[in-house]
Amino acid sequence: MPFADLDDGAIFYERRGTGPAVFLIPPVSRGPEGLDPFIDLLAGDFEVFRHDQRGLGASPPAAGQRGPVPLAQRAAAAFDLLDHLGVDDVHVVGHSTGCGIALEMWRTASARINSLTLAAPWSHGDAQLVTMQNLRVAAARALSPADYATYNASLLFPPWYRQRFAAGFEALAAAAVDHPQDAEVIANGLIPILNFDGRSIAETVTCPVLIIAAGDDQLMPPWHGRAYVDLINGSQNVVLDSGGHMVLETCRERVAALILDFMSAAA
């Protein structure tokens, strides 16, 4: 497993493909199919980098890291990794939480960003998002690991996808028993999302921007993407009929084709 040994601690990362660099920032949640099929579609034309954020997945927390980690700090860690790997400029593909990190990367070093793709973004912590995220924390505190995994899947994935991969979702729920959720960790991960307001950053964005959302996303509905469209001149907005929050998995062929065409034109 490749780790980059950085000043603030190691970060797990993967790189796949050849071509212009793409930095993919997905959320922590995964479905039965995972992200590999989507990454493979991009890696035919681009070199795709993906990492586990500090304290998540295979990456240990930074020394002294406790409590919520601001998205600006996540963006700084992303640039530390890119510097370590010798990558000067990138197309950034953010999904869910990754959209906020992507915008913070633009604010930090816009000259290094060739394009931004924001999949299932949020513009700010509006009342609907606050309610949904607080419900996730309450569910994490109240439910068994298997039931919480099932609840979370019902929030993130549309019914038709859960039906198609029912056995896979059942396996994920069963596996959750060995890795029970920590409600405090979940809350610490959601606080930076609710504290983030990307609208002021969006007003400064001048690189090509593609926004993708699904009409049935219960967590971050398409109105967040439309808010960014109103603020970013020339941005493109695609709203899929269905796909839920996890569009990189549920609609990977369509989404990958949109992103590939967009990044090729922006290169």
> Would you say 97 and 196 are in contact if contact means Cβ atoms under 8 Å apart?
no
- Looking at the domain assignment, is residue 76 inside a domain? yes
The pLDDT tens digits of the residues spanning 86-102 come to 999 999 999 999 999 99
- Looking at the domain assignment, is residue 181 inside a domain? no
Q: Which domain holds residue 45?
A: 3-124+197-266
- The mean of the pLDDT values for the chain is 96
- Cβ contacts of 73 within 8 Å, gap of 6 or more: none
- Reply yes or no on whether the pLDDT at 247 is more than 90: yes
**62 pLDDT band (50/70/90 cuts)?**
confident
Instruction: State residue 152's pLDDT score.
Output: 97
- Looking at the domain assignment, is residue 119 inside a domain? yes
CA distances to 72, 103, 128, 256, 266 from 109, rounded to whole Å, are 12, 10, 31, 26, 18
- Beta pairing partners, 16: 48
Instruction: State residue 1's pLDDT score.
Output: 61
Q: What are phi and psi of 190, to 5 degrees?
A: -90, -25
Tokens of 123: 């513009």
- Reply yes or no on whether the pLDDT at 221 is more than 90: yes
For the chain, report the end-to-end CA distance as a whole number of angstroms: 30
- Looking at the domain assignment, is residue 189 inside a domain? no
As a whole number, mean pLDDT of residues 134-142 equals: 97
- Looking at the domain assignment, is residue 145 inside a domain? no
Instruction: Residue 77: give its domain's CATH number.
Output: 3.40.50.1820
- Looking at the domain assignment, is residue 31 inside a domain? yes
**61 pLDDT band (50/70/90 cuts)?**
confident
- Count: domains in the chain: 1
257, containing H or E segment: helix 252-266
- Looking at the domain assignment, is residue 170 inside a domain? no
Instruction: State residue 219's pLDDT score.
Output: 98
- Looking at the domain assignment, is residue 52 inside a domain? yes
